[in-house]
Amino acid sequence: MTNDGASVVEREAEEPPTPDTKHEPRTGSTGHGAGAAMSYASPAAIGRSIGTTARRILGGPRFPLLDRMAFALVALLVLVALIGIFWTPHDPFMVNTKQAFLPPGSGHLLGTDNVGRDVLSRILAGAGRTLLIAVAIVLSAAGIGVLVASIAALMPTWIDEAVMRVCDILMSLPSLVLALGLAASLGPSMMSIVLAMIATSWPSTARLMRNILRETMTSSYVESARILGMSRLRLMRRHVLPNSLDAIYVQASMEISGTIVMIAGLAFLGVGAPPPSPDWGSLIAQGQDHITTAWWIALFPGLATTLAAIAFGLAGDAVRSSVDPSSRRS
């Protein structure tokens, strides 16, 4: 190599793209990218379906005001959840059988349940738990997935392939059924739902991240830095990983919506925290026996779950479109 050629390579290695000046974003354009990683009924797939369907119904891809409305609604839901942690109109756990099955009115805006507990207070109390747990599950699953993918990328090829085959096997199983089985085996509690959903969510992130890392590691600036003797660990930490996180941000933003739906579904099926827990899924389950006589007990928690899922789904779709504008035209 001539001195001029060496200086060019050296400049490329010394000045790789930084997270602020990334190359073309990737959100699953490769054969095993985000689309393949979300091809099964994962929280990300559910969230993506909710977001795209709601967008088509409410205004289509050429309605940018919908993005602002979605983020405003998400902010409002977060504010309501924070308020519900510290204040509710009534004690959400106080039993008063004399006021059981009161319809929505001035004393109880959303009515009372079968033992006289205020439905609005219970929805507010459950909002903080539901949103906080959903975010915790998504962040934990993303962190585990990124860590597994990064370690696999640094290992010999046969270990890398073995880890990815394990991810493929786990992804081939219906996530809701697998999460239901794991949560049921751990016993009814919210921690069971959290552990079960983390266990079923991280493989898709690991699979997606590994494919993005494989693509990034073949970039010219990475090859140049490797020629100059930079270790694989340093390459991964300083250059490869920071420039490979776009798709993870997108997937995480879409997973929140699907995770809210799955938390409610698992709680509805009885593997969540036992009564008198105010989790939205449990509230729906408690009201299903009285749906014809006291419809408000199940209806309003169901509406809260639907509203939260749509808001976060639209917000996730907006994040995806900002990272990959071509996705909105598809």
User: Mind spelling out the 3-state secondary structure of 188-250?
Assistant: CCHHHHHHHHHHHHHHHHHHHHHHHHHHHCCCHHHHHHHHCCCCHHHHHHHHHCCCCCHHHHH
Q: Report d(CA 179, CA 40) in Å as an integer.
A: 14
Considering the domain boundaries, does residue 305 fall inside one? yes
Assign 23 a pLDDT band (cuts: 50, 70, 90).
Answer: very low
The number of beta carbons lying within 10 Å of the beta carbon of residue 240 is 25
Considering the domain boundaries, does residue 94 fall inside one? no
For residue 80, the model assigns a pLDDT of: 93
Q: Does residue 204 contact residue 171 with C-beta atoms inside 8 Å?
A: yes
Q: Report d(CA 50, CA 315) in Å as an integer.
A: 11
Q: Does residue 263 contact residue 281 with C-beta atoms inside 8 Å?
A: yes
The number of beta carbons lying within 10 Å of the beta carbon of residue 9 is 17
For residue 327, the model assigns a pLDDT of: 59
By three-state DSSP, how is residue 118 classified?
Answer: strand
Considering the domain boundaries, does residue 263 fall inside one? yes
Quick check: 226 pLDDT over 90?
Answer: no
Q: Report d(CA 81, CA 102) in Å as an integer.
A: 25
Considering the domain boundaries, does residue 100 fall inside one? no
For the chain, what is the domain count?
1
What are the pLDDT digits (tens) for 250-301? Answer: 888 889 999 999 999 999 999 988 888 899 999 999 999 899 999 999 999 9
Four-residue CA torsion sign, 170, 138, 53, 302 = positive
For residue 305, give the CATH number of its domain.
Answer: 1.10.3720.10
> What proportions of the chain, in percent to the nearest 5, are helix, strand and coil?
70, 0, 30
Place of tokens 């039993």: 95
Considering the domain boundaries, does residue 241 fall inside one? yes
Q: Report d(CA 128, CA 277) in Å as an integer.
A: 12
Considering the domain boundaries, does residue 124 fall inside one? yes
DSSP string, 267-310: HHTT-SPPTT---HHHHHHHHGGGTTT-THHHHHHHHHHHHHHH
Considering the domain boundaries, does residue 97 fall inside one? no
Q: Does residue 283 contact residue 298 with C-beta atoms inside 8 Å?
A: yes
Task: Say if pTM beats, i.e. exceeds, 0.75.
Answer: yes
Of the listed ranges 2-16, 46-60, 128-142, the least confidently predicted one is 2-16
Considering the domain boundaries, does residue 109 fall inside one? no
For residue 120, the model assigns a pLDDT of: 96
Query: How confident is the prediction for the chain on average, in pLDDT?
Result: 82
Q: Does residue 274 contact residue 191 with C-beta atoms inside 8 Å?
A: no
Assign 94 a pLDDT band (cuts: 50, 70, 90).
Answer: very high
Domain range for residue 288? 41-87+117-329
Quick check: 148 pLDDT over 90?
Answer: yes
Two structure tokens written together for 46: 């559910």
Quick check: 316 pLDDT over 50?
Answer: yes
Helices (H) and strands (E) in the chain, counts: 14, 0
Assign 2 a pLDDT band (cuts: 50, 70, 90).
Answer: very low
For the purposes of burial, counting CB atoms within 10 Å of the CB of 258, is it exposed (0-12), middle (13-18) or buried (19 or more)? buried
Work out the angle at residue 132's Cα, subtended by the Cα atoms of residues 249 and 168, and round it to the nearest 5 degrees.
Answer: 50
By three-state DSSP, how is residue 68 classified?
Answer: helix
For residue 265, the model assigns a pLDDT of: 93
What are the pLDDT digits (tens) for 58-92? Answer: 665 555 677 788 889 999 999 999 999 999 999 99
Closest Cα partner for 236 from 131, 154, 324?
154
